[in-house]
Structure 1
Amino acid sequence: MTDPIVAGVDGSGRSLRALVWAAHEAALRHCPLRVIHVLAPYHSYAMTDEGRATEASNWDQGVVAEATTIAQEAHPDLEVTSALPSGTPAAVLLAEAEQAHTVVLGAKGTGGFGSLLLGSVALQVVGHAVCPVVVVNHVTTGHDRIVVGADGSAHSQAALAYAFEQASLRGARLQAVHAWSHPGPHAYVSASQDAMAKEHRQALEEWLAPLRQQHPDVEAMELVPDEPPVIALARASDRADLLVVGSRGLGGFHGLALGSVSHHLLQFSQCPLAVIRPRI
């Protein structure tokens, strides 16, 4: 069976926008959509108050029913399944990720235990999931452009491969961004700075070359700005339908679950953000 696209929903508007993105992704890939709504911890003892338990149960089932209906109405041929597991949201979603193609989350939820709050559940899932994780904050369409950050790391190579696949799947252009910072004052535009820019562009072209051969249908453009990666990628995301980054790059300490660039882009990306790590 094809691995599903897993969408975490909690009844919030942003989680429903994430659901719509996930349903479209599943339809493009011809794979099932699995809708997950994690029951809040108080359900374990709410049965002492029968009315409260019934109300909570009806609301939770309504969240899943609404999500399923939205997905099926948008894509009538899509196979949609759902589940209402109990437990810690991050732990449940990380377990789902073990058998998923992609996990899709909204950037923020409704608040409380059942929400997918950026900074808690979403950060844990993005930092530790074995599959790609897409966090949907702003939804953009019509740009027909996928933006990907590249720095030569193993995580970056995985992000490039995913971005090329997405561009091919969606018939979109690809913009690969390799941001770098000149060590000297920016007031001096020197021959050494020009040489460094050329060196970085050549490196980016080398990273892209094998993927261009694998995906000859994808128009790939290079962007090598002399500025911090977060600024360059956040700016590029304003003209993209999807931003793709590795979970961590060349900087920072080995073993960190999430690098500083991907962490900041969870806040600043102007389009859905896919965070990728190499498959083991």
Structure 2
Amino acid sequence: MLPGDHAETSVTREPRRERSSAMTTRSAGPTITVRSEVVQPSADADARLAPARPATAAATIVGWDASEPSRAALAWALRRNPRGALHLVHVLDRSQANAEYFVADSTATRAEGTFREEADRIRRENPAVTITSEFLVGDPISHLRNLSGPNTLVVVGTHTRDGSPVRYEWSVGARLAGAANGPIAIIPEDTNPRATGVVVGVDGSAASAAALAFAAAEADCTGMKLRAIHAWQEPLVWRDTATPDPAFLYSLEQVHQQTLQNSVRTATDAYPQLPVTSTLVRGAPQWALLDAARGAALVVVGNHGLYGVRRLLLGLVSHSIVLNIQSPTVIVSASAEPRR
């Protein structure tokens, strides 16, 4: 159970509003009471429904190295768009190559030949998908970053966490998500294909808006429900030093509730028939999202990472999600929102 309080609201579409009700949720933390509203679709919602939108990214690139995580990434990309197109990319790290001057039996030549055979096999096994391939030599992060963009989803795999998280801090997925020019999907090797639902973290920021746009479009395309999570905490100055004023906490909670409602309204305005559940959590956002990620088919978070020299760093929440990855996760930065 999440160490905090949460309340959920199911939302589909205005305009008819049912009576709001007070809901009390008890958890490991203090008990709080919030108000929830269920908004039902109107009778003419079908008439207002816009045509189905295309996938959230016009192109899909899968990072491939024949490992189990890369196979999981490929399988996920194929399930996501079983009749679309994808570009398979293998980047041989220059440190694995023999030298700048390659000969016929060099590491690079052998690796390229093996990759071509693998790509041909994948094409034969998936005739409904248009699969192109590319072999590159150099730094994997640099090459995949150059291939990323607002309208391109780059998909990479990662090992299941079974020990110290240190190696995940420097995994390809974590490093790439901090440097990319577009959304990055990180797929754990033990992904459950029967999982369902799209979870997105929202906080009213530009990165959050981009993540919400991606998540809502993905849920709409796949026919899944969308769950929006917003977490809040009392000011740091109060922690362990003073008892928070109940009236102030209530007003603060209402501000955060409004932030969540605004995000949900944005999603339902864009996709009138999309079922959306909103959850307001008093607690750390990374733990709220990790709790919600259990059993989810996809988790989407915005990246509040730094820019310039330190751009390779992810923000706190997105970094925590990657370190403790449980489900397929897409990291979206504010600049990664697809162009319409």
Above 0.5 in TM-score?
A: yes
User: What is the Cα deviation at residue 118 of structure 1?
Assistant: 5.5
User: What is the Cα deviation at residue 141 of structure 1?
Assistant: 3.0
Distance in 1 between residues matched to 2:151 and 2:259, nearest whole Å: 33
Q: 1:140 aligns with which of 192, 199, 207?
A: 192
User: What is the Cα deviation at residue 5 of structure 1?
Assistant: 0.4
User: What is the Cα deviation at residue 156 of structure 1?
Assistant: 0.4
- Residues 162-199 of structure 1 show CA distances to partners (whole Å, capped at 9, x for unaligned) of 00001001100111000111245698793443443333
TM-score (norm 2): 0.69
Distance in 1 between residues matched to 2:153 and 2:327, nearest whole Å: 17
User: 1:120-269 maps to which residues of 2 (within 5 A)?
Assistant: 120-137=171-188, 138-183=190-235, 184=238, 190-248=246-304, 257=311, 258-269=314-325
Matching residue's letter, 2:282: D
Q: Which residue of 2 aligns with 1:85?
A: 136
Q: Which residue of 2 aligns with 1:112?
A: none
Change beyond 3 A, Cα 1:217–1:149: same
User: What is the Cα deviation at residue 10 of structure 1?
Assistant: 1.0
Q: What secondary structure does 1:130 align onto?
A: coil
Q: Structure 1 stretches of 5 or more lacking a match?
A: 110-115
TM-score (norm 1): 0.83
Moved more, 159-168 or 261-270: 261-270
Q: Which residue of 2 aligns with 1:272?
A: 328
Change beyond 3 A, Cα 1:60–1:13: farther
- Is the CA contact 1:145–1:173 (under 8 Å) kept in the aligned structure 2? yes
- Is the CA contact 1:3–1:99 (under 8 Å) kept in the aligned structure 2? no
Distance in 2 between residues matched to 1:80 and 1:226, nearest whole Å: 45
Q: Structure 2 stretches of 5 or more lacking a match?
A: 1-56, 161-166
Q: What secondary structure does 1:39 align onto?
A: strand
- Is the CA contact 1:238–1:269 (under 8 Å) kept in the aligned structure 2? no
Q: What secondary structure does 2:154 align onto?
A: strand
Distance in 2 between residues matched to 1:246 and 1:176, nearest whole Å: 12
Q: Which residue of 1 aligns with 2:117?
A: 65
Distance in 1 between residues matched to 2:249 and 2:116, nearest whole Å: 55
User: What is the Cα deviation at residue 60 of structure 1?
Assistant: 4.3
Moved more, 215-224 or 197-206: 197-206
Change beyond 3 A, Cα 1:43–1:214: same
- Is the CA contact 2:69–2:157 (under 8 Å) kept in the aligned structure 1? yes
Change beyond 3 A, Cα 1:100–1:220: closer
Q: What secondary structure does 1:38 align onto?
A: strand
Instruction: Give the structure with the larger helix fraction.
Output: 1
User: What is the Cα deviation at residue 120 of structure 1?
Assistant: 4.7
Change beyond 3 A, Cα 1:98–1:244: closer
Identity fraction in percent? 28
Q: Which residue of 2 aligns with 1:45?
A: 99
Distance in 1 between residues matched to 2:210 and 2:288, nearest whole Å: 20
Q: Which residue of 2 aligns with 1:105?
A: 156
1:6 and 2:61 are equivalent in the alignment = yes
Change beyond 3 A, Cα 1:68–1:17: farther
Tell me the C-alpha RMSD between the 2 structures.
3.0
Change beyond 3 A, Cα 1:68–1:16: farther
1:35 and 2:88 are equivalent in the alignment = yes
Matching residue's letter, 2:67: S
Q: What secondary structure does 2:97 align onto?
A: helix
- Is the CA contact 2:103–2:109 (under 8 Å) kept in the aligned structure 1? no
Matching residue's letter, 2:325: S
Change beyond 3 A, Cα 1:143–1:193: farther
- Is the CA contact 1:156–1:245 (under 8 Å) kept in the aligned structure 2? yes
Moved more, 158-167 or 88-97: 88-97
- Is the CA contact 2:119–2:133 (under 8 Å) kept in the aligned structure 1? no
- Is the CA contact 1:5–1:31 (under 8 Å) kept in the aligned structure 2? no
The structure whose Rg is larger is 2
Instruction: Give the structure with the larger strand fraction.
Output: 2
Distance in 1 between residues matched to 2:133 and 2:269, nearest whole Å: 39
Q: Which residue of 1 aligns with 2:163?
A: none
